[in-house]
C-alpha cells in the first residue's frame, strides 16, 4: 500500500485532487452564476440602447433614428420590406458557392485593380459568362474589370463565344481608379491579362448609329445571351437599339440600380427605366448584388 511520501511523489497527498477539483468546480459555478446574474441585470440597460435611450455616450450599436427612418424609406422604395420578394435562389446559390472557391480570390484582385463593381457582381458575371448560351455584349467596361470577369467566364465555358464591349472613352476620374485614357488603359489591361483575343472593343457612344453599326457587324442577330449595362444610366434606349441582337431570353446585368454619392443621379435614371421595363414585362427581375447591381432577364415578346 502506498504511504504519504509515495502519494506526495505523485501529487496526491493532502486533500484528494478529486475533492479539490469539486471545490474548484463549485467555486467556478458560483462565479458563473454571479456573472450570469450581473449580465441579466444589465440586459434592460442594453435593451434601452436599442430602444433609443438618450443617455448613451459610448453607444456604437444602436442606429441613429434618422438613419433608421432613411433605411425604412429606401426599403419601401425598393419594395424589400415585404418577405414576398424572397425568390430566385439559384443565382444566390451560385454566388454562395463561388465565394468559397479560388476564383473569388482572383476576382477580388481583378476588382481591386480594375473594377468599380463589387466582387460579388464580378462573380455573377463570371458565372453567367460560363453558364449562359450565346454571345455577350457589354456597355461600359471602363478599365475592364467587369469585362475580364465576363471574359474568363466565357473562356471557362469551353465554347467559342463572341464578346463585344462598347466604351465611349475619355478621361476617368474615379477616386481610386484614375485613367488619362480609358480606351488605351482598357486595351492594355486586356493584353496584360491575356484576354485581348477574347474581347472586341468598340469605341464610341453606345447610342450612336456608327457605334451600333460596328457592334452589329461583330454580333449576329439573336445571338447575345448576356448583356451588361454599366454606362450612363440609359437602359431602355440601349434595349430598344440592340434588341435585335438578343436571344429570345437574354441575361441582363445592370449596374447602379441603387447607389449613393457619385452615382446617385445615374441610379435614379436607371431605377426608373428598369422598373418600367419590369412592369411592361420586358425584363424579369432575379436579384440584386454587390452595392446596387440589378440582375435579371430580357424576354422577347412573341407576336400572337
Ligand X SMILES: C[S@@+](CC[C@H](N)C(=O)[O-])C[C@H]1O[C@@H](n2cnc3c(N)ncnc32)[C@H](O)[C@@H]1O
Binding status of residue 145 toward ligand X by CB under 6 A = yes
| Among 15-23, 41-49, 110-118, 294-302, the segment contacting ligand X (CB under 6 A) | 110-118
Return the C-alpha cell found at 272: 426608373
248 vs 221: CA distance, rounded Å: 11
Q: Which of residues 213-232 bind ligand X (CB under 6 A)?
A: 230-232
| Residue 101 C-beta: closest distance to ligand X, Å | 20
Binding status of residue 116 toward ligand X by CB under 6 A = yes
| Residue 279 C-beta: closest distance to ligand X, Å | 25
Is 132 or 146 the residue whose CB approaches ligand X more closely?
Answer: 146
| Among 22-30, 75-83, 135-143, 215-223, the segment contacting ligand X (CB under 6 A) | 135-143
Burial zone of 226 (CB within 10 Å; 0-12 exposed, 13-18 middle, 19+ buried): buried
Contact residue for ligand X among 107, 119, 136, 141 (CB under 6 A) = 141
Is 170 or 220 the residue whose CB approaches ligand X more closely?
Answer: 170
Beta strands 135-139 and 163-167 are: parallel
CA 29-31-33 angle, to 5 degrees, is: 70
Contact residue for ligand X among 134, 135, 136, 140 (CB under 6 A) = 140
Q: Tell me the residue nearest to ligand X as measured from the CB.
A: 140
| Among 2-10, 14-22, 134-142, 239-247, the segment contacting ligand X (CB under 6 A) | 134-142
| Residue 45 C-beta: closest distance to ligand X, Å | 46
| Among 74-82, 152-160, 163-171, 289-297, the segment contacting ligand X (CB under 6 A) | 163-171
Cβ 196 vs Cβ 163: under 8 Å: no
Is 135 or 146 the residue whose CB approaches ligand X more closely?
Answer: 146
Contact residue for ligand X among 103, 107, 117, 250 (CB under 6 A) = 117
31-56 burial, b if ≥16 CB within 10 A, otherwise e?
eeeeeeeeeeeeeeeeeeeeeeeeee
Where are the strands (E) in the chain, listed by range?
A: 135-139, 163-167, 172-173, 178-179, 200-203, 224-229, 246-254, 283-289, 293-299
Q: What is the DSSP letter of 59?
A: -
Q: What distances in angstroms separate CA 14 from CA 20, 108, 121, 213, one per listed residue? A: 10, 62, 68, 96
51 vs 224: CA distance, rounded Å: 52
Binding status of residue 183 toward ligand X by CB under 6 A = no
24 vs 20: CA distance, rounded Å: 6
Burial zone of 106 (CB within 10 Å; 0-12 exposed, 13-18 middle, 19+ buried): middle
Is 145 or 153 the residue whose CB approaches ligand X more closely?
Answer: 145
Contact residue for ligand X among 167, 185, 282, 285 (CB under 6 A) = 167
Q: How far, rounded to the nearest angstrom, does the alpha carbon of residue 71 sit from its chain's CA centroid? A: 19
Per-residue interface string for the shown chain with ligand X, residues 237-276, x marking contact by CB under 6 A: ----------------------------------------
Contact set with ligand X (CB under 6 A): 115-117, 139-142, 145-146, 166-168, 170, 182, 205-206, 230-232
Amino acid at each position: 500500500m502506498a504511504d504519504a511520501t509515495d502519494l506526495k511523489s505523485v501529487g496526491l497527498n493532502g486533500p484528494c485532487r478529486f475533492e479539490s477539483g469539486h471545490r474548484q468546480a463549485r467555486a467556478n459555478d458560483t462565479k458563473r452564476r454571479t456573472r450570469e446574474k450581473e449580465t441579466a441585470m444589465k440586459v434592460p440597460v442594453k435593451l434601452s440602447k436599442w430602444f433609443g435611450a438618450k443617455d448613451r455616450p459610448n453607444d456604437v450599436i444602436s442606429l441613429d433614428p434618422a438613419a433608421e427612418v432613411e433605411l425604412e424609406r429606401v426599403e419601401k422604395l425598393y419594395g424589400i420590406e415585404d418577405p414576398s420578394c424572397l425568390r430566385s435562389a439559384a443565382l444566390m446559390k451560385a454566388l454562395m458557392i463561388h465565394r468559397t472557391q479560388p476564383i473569388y480570390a482572383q476576382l477580388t484582385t481583378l476588382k481591386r485593380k480594375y473594377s468599380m463593381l463589387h466582387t460579388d457582381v464580378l462573380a455573377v458575371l463570371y458565372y453567367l459568362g460560363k453558364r449562359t448560351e450565346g454571345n455577350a455584349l457589354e456597355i461600359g467596361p471602363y478599365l475592364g474589370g467587369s469585362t475580364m470577369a465576363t471574359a474568363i467566364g466565357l473562356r471557362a465555358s469551353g465554347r467559342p463565344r463572341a464578346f463585344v464591349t462598347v466604351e465611349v472613352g475619355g478621361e476617368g476620374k474615379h477616386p481610386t481608379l484614375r485613367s488619362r485614357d480609358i480606351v488605351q488603359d482598357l486595351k492594355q489591361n486586356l493584353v496584360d491579362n491575356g484576354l485581348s483575343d477574347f474581347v472586341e472593343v468598340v469605341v464610341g457612344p453606345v447610342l450612336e448609329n456608327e457605334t451600333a453599326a460596328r457592334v452589329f457587324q461583330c454580333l449576329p442577330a439573336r445571338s447575345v445571351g448576356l448583356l451588361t449595362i454599366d454606362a450612363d444610366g440609359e437602359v431602355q434606349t440601349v434595349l430598344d437599339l440592340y434588341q435585335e441582337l438578343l436571344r429570345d431570353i437574354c441575361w441582363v446585368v445592370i449596374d447602379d440600380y441603387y447607389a449613393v454619392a457619385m452615382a446617385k443621379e445615374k441610379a435614379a435614371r436607371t431605377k426608373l427605366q428598369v422598373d418600367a421595363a419590369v412592369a411592361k414585362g420586358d425584363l424579369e427581375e432575379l436579384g440584386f448584388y454587390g452595392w446596387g447591381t440589378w440582375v435579371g432577364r430580357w424576354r422577347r415578346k412573341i407576336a400572337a
